[in-house]
Amino acid sequence: AQTVTQSQPEMSVQEAETVTLSCTYDTSESDYYLFWYKQPPSRQMILVIRQEAYKQQNATENRFSVNFQKAAKSFSLKISDSQLGDAAMYFCAYRSEGYGGATNKLIFGTGTLLAVQP
C-alpha cells in the first residue's frame, strides 16, 4: 500500500523569505500523481500544485514550485517570497495512475502547519 509522510508538523517563515516543505512517499508503482493542497483557516482545501510522475520537469505555479525526486520518492514544496496569506496547513497527497474505482483515491500525509511571520 502507498504511504505519504510529512515529517515537519510545523514550520515558520518570515514574510518575503523562502521556505521548503518536505514530503516523502512510498510506492511500488511507476506511474502516479502527486499533489500539494493548502488548507487555510477558512478550511477550504485548495490545490496548490500537481506533478505527474512521468514528467521529469518540476512543476511550478507562480511562487510555488516542487522538487520532485522520483528515485528518492521525495516531493518537496518550495514557497518563494512568502506572504501572510500563505499561512495554512499544507498537505501532500498521492494518487495512482489509472481510470476509475479505487485509483481515484488520494492518500494524504499528516500535514505541515506553516506560519508566516510579518
Partner 1 sequence: DVKVTQSSRYLVKRTGEKVFLECVQDMDHENMFWYRQDPGLGLRLIYFSYDVKMKEKGDIPEGYSVSREKKERFSLILESASTNQTSMYLCASSSSLGTSGGLSLAKNIQYFGAGTRLSVL
The contact set with partner 1 (CB under 8 A) reads 4, 6, 9, 33, 35, 37, 42-47, 50, 91, 95, 99-102, 104-106, 108-111
| Beta-carbon contacts of residue 62 (< 8 Å; ≥ 6 apart) | none
Q: How far apart are CA 23 and CA 93, in angstroms?
A: 9
Nearer residue to partner 1 within complex by CB, 64 or 108 = 108
Q: Smallest gap, in angstroms, from Cβ of residue 14 to partner 1? A: 26
Classify each residue of 53-88 as buried b or exposed e, where b means 16 or more C-beta atoms within 10 Å of its C-beta.
beeeeebeeeebbbebeeeebebbbbbeebeeebbb
Nearer residue to partner 1 within complex by CB, 45 or 73 = 45
Q: Smallest gap, in angstroms, from Cβ of residue 105 to partner 1? A: 6
Nearer residue to partner 1 within complex by CB, 7 or 14 = 7
